A and B are shown apart, each in its own frame.
Chain A
Amino acid sequence: MRRNVLPGLRLSLGVTLFYVGLIVVLPLAALVFKASSLGPEDYWRIVSSSRALASYRVTVLSALGATIFNLFFGLALAWVLTRYRFPGWRIVDAMVDLPFALPTAVAGIALTALFTTNGWFGSILADLGIKVAYTPLGIMIAMCFTSLPFIVRTVQPVLEDLDPALEEAAQSLGGSDWQIFRKVILPLLTPALLAGVSLSFARSLGEFGAIIFIAGNQPMSTEITALLVFIRLEEYDYQAAAAIASVLLIAAFVMLALTNWMQSRALRYTVKG
């Protein structure tokens, strides 16, 4: 390694470490400290209470459902945006980022207005006997909305960089479109798809603002884990809040590790010169 002549390491690294320490590490350490100040038995009793378990169930299942929907829809959207040109595609491309730009509380009340039984979609669905608002289905739709851009935005650059020669070669060997998609294109997209899936799933697990308006928030059925933490706080049960929040934190770290691992695999395909 050559000697570095640039100035400013001390200042920039000092500022960085101070800020990260104060803003990110200190609070999370305080949370872990608070949660660990409970004995193991108390901790286990809180995090495995039937209400907490029910909240994990609805959160994880809804997040799974939303992620699976986004896997298919995100891939289709990325495909359409890179492969096809139609009037207004640029606008659609820009709109994909709306779920990131729109504040979650705004998204929450908007989706609720659409899906309540007298809303635009809710009234039609109610005639079909489907209830969305205040059910787990509503939670899933809110999660679909907030995590939609992840898969589109991780898959899009890979699709753009795909070498047409690969498809041509497969075509000249007589492969049908479906065969080529499944055996040539899909394997190349898989790392990016997986990275997008893990980002999307992680975001859904922690989502709060968009969900609480549409969820109904009934304990044991439509109460997500993030809301249970909030409710424990409002009851001044700080230890329970710390314990359940630590479960969400652990889940986030697991997803972060998984995402980094998948992204380092996906990078082989996404690094641009």
Chain B
Amino acid sequence: MGATRTGRKPPRVGDQPLFRRMLIGIVLVIVALLIVAPLVVIGVEAFSKGWVVYRDTIIHPDTLHAIGLTVFAAIVAVPVNTAFGVAAAWSITKFDFWGRRFLLVVIEIPFSVSPIVAGVAYLFVYGLQGVFGPMLDEYGIKILFAIPGIILASMFVTAPFVARELIPLMQAQGRDLEEAATSLGASGWRTFFSVTLPNVKWALLYGVVLCNARVMGEFGAVSVVSGNIRGQTNTLPLHIELLYHDYQAAGAFAAASILALIAVFTIIAKVALERQGAGRVRRPALVTSPAEKAQ
């Protein structure tokens, strides 16, 4: 281009002031009604019966137990999922093997499957009417309607979270650096920790943050496998439902306000990580890059 044209640029499509203002106006109104209002109403309803009811709900033993269980599920499920995501990304992006793309599709299945279907599926593995249920029962191992079931169901729904962030990025970065490191004598672990990890740390953290939010907020799958035993297998989202149907709306919203706060922090963390470049490279893993073809 260069200086072939002087003077004013013509306005781009849709840049007429009237159209522009109207479109911004319409979009902002819908955002306010559909996204902002639900967030605001949680806060308003949570304090509708006053600060005391709010505080009493939060410090009630059942709520505290639900918070503890939710945090525990995240402490177990998120690191396991992260390790899996790293392993999956390493194997899929650093090696060529038969069925690689199929494996990618299988990893992403939980995104498309209804959480209820996931819950039911776990019932048919570990429940008394399931494949392993009767055997586990003989040994007195309880997975369903207990904490292990909650953690397993959470792992199912979040299985793709970390892998999805790492795979496209590690694919785009290629294998040259790792190959150089190993040819200089670095071990596999050393190569991973000092060469690969520094390049993908923000994307990894991004996946971990989103995975954590989903584990803490999962409702459908967990409600099938938990058995909803108050003070025992109730996670925070399930506790909200219980309070809500108990006609303790203010209490339900008080409990919900904790999860809403986590959601807001998740979004802030997400924006901060996106500034570091995370979440940018999206899904090119499913196509073979030209560079790869040339090899």
Contacts from A to B (Cβ < 8 Å) = 1-2, 4-9, 11-13, 15-17, 19-20, 23-28, 30-31, 33-34, 73, 76-77, 79-80, 83-84, 86, 90, 92, 94-107, 109-111, 113-114, 119-121, 141, 144-145, 148, 157, 164, 167-168, 171, 177, 180-181, 185, 202, 205-209, 213, 226-227, 229-230, 233, 238, 241-242, 245, 248-249, 252-253, 255-256, 259-260, 263-264, 267, 270-272
CB nearest to B122 among chain A residues: A27
Would you call B281 and A106 a contact (CB within 8 A)? no
Would you call A226 and B187 a contact (CB within 8 A)? no
Known A30-B130, A114-B38, A145-B38; judge A206-B112 contact (CB<8 A). Answer: yes
A-B contact pairs, 9 of them (CB 8 A): A13-B87, A20-B88, A30-B125, A95-B267, A98-B35, A101-B263, A114-B37, A249-B113, A267-B283
Known A121-B37, A206-B113; judge A12-B240 contact (CB<8 A). Answer: no
CB nearest to B178 among chain A residues: A6
CB nearest to B240 among chain A residues: A105
Flag whether B3 is at the interface (Cβ < 8 A). no
- B51: chain A residues at CB < 8 Å are none
A86 to B31, CA, bound (A): 15
Q: Which of B115, B129, B155, B270 contacts A209 (CB 8 A)?
A: B115
- B216: chain A residues at CB < 8 Å are 103
Would you call A30 and B121 a contact (CB within 8 A)? yes
A207 to B35, CA, bound (A): 17
Would you call B116 and A27 a contact (CB within 8 A)? no
- B120: chain A residues at CB < 8 Å are 31, 229, 233, 241-242, 245
Known A207-B114, A230-B116; judge A80-B27 contact (CB<8 A). Answer: yes
Shortest 9 CB-CB contacts between residues of A and residues of B: A103-B217, A206-B114, A27-B121, A209-B219, A7-B188, A208-B220, A110-B38, A12-B91, A15-B87
Would you call B286 and A1 a contact (CB within 8 A)? no
CB nearest to A35 among chain B residues: B124
A194 to B116, CA, bound (A): 26
- A110: chain B residues at CB < 8 Å are 38-39, 41-42, 45, 256
A264 to B224, CA, bound (A): 34
Give B119-150 as 1s and 0s: 1 = Cβ < 8 Å from A's Cβ atoms.
01111110101110000000000000000000
Known A95-B31, A256-B112; judge A233-B13 contact (CB<8 A). Answer: no
Flag whether B33 is at the interface (Cβ < 8 A). yes
Residue pairs across A and B with CB atoms within 8 Å: the count is: 313
CB distance from A9 to the nearest CB of B (A): 5
CB distance from B15 to the nearest CB of A (A): 8
A180 to B16, CA, bound (A): 14
CB distance from A5 to the nearest CB of B (A): 6
A207 to B220, CA, bound (A): 8
Would you call B121 and A33 a contact (CB within 8 A)? no
- B110: chain A residues at CB < 8 Å are 24
- A83: chain B residues at CB < 8 Å are 12, 14-15
Would you call A264 and B12 a contact (CB within 8 A)? no
Would you call B30 and A185 a contact (CB within 8 A)? no
Contacts from B to A (Cβ < 8 Å) = 10, 12-16, 19-20, 23-24, 26-28, 30-31, 33-39, 41-42, 45, 83-84, 86-88, 90-92, 94-97, 103, 105-110, 112-118, 120-125, 127, 129-131, 152, 155-156, 159, 175, 178-179, 182-183, 187-188, 191-192, 210, 213, 216-220, 223-224, 237-238, 240-241, 244, 249, 252-253, 256, 259-260, 263-264, 266-268, 270-271, 280-284, 286-287, 295
Would you call B182 and A6 a contact (CB within 8 A)? yes
Known A19-B84, A270-B282; judge A13-B118 contact (CB<8 A). Answer: no
A80 to B266, CA, bound (A): 24
Interface of A is mostly: helix
A218 to B249, CA, bound (A): 21
Would you call A25 and B117 a contact (CB within 8 A)? no
CB distance from A267 to the nearest CB of B (A): 5
Would you call A226 and B220 a contact (CB within 8 A)? yes
Would you call B83 and A92 a contact (CB within 8 A)? no
Known A1-B295, A120-B37, A245-B121; judge A16-B116 contact (CB<8 A). Answer: no
CB distance from A206 to the nearest CB of B (A): 3
Would you call B295 and A144 a contact (CB within 8 A)? no
CB nearest to A230 among chain B residues: B116
- A113: chain B residues at CB < 8 Å are 41, 45, 249, 253
- B178: chain A residues at CB < 8 Å are 6
Max chain B CB contacts within 10 Å: which of A24, A95, A249? Answer: A24
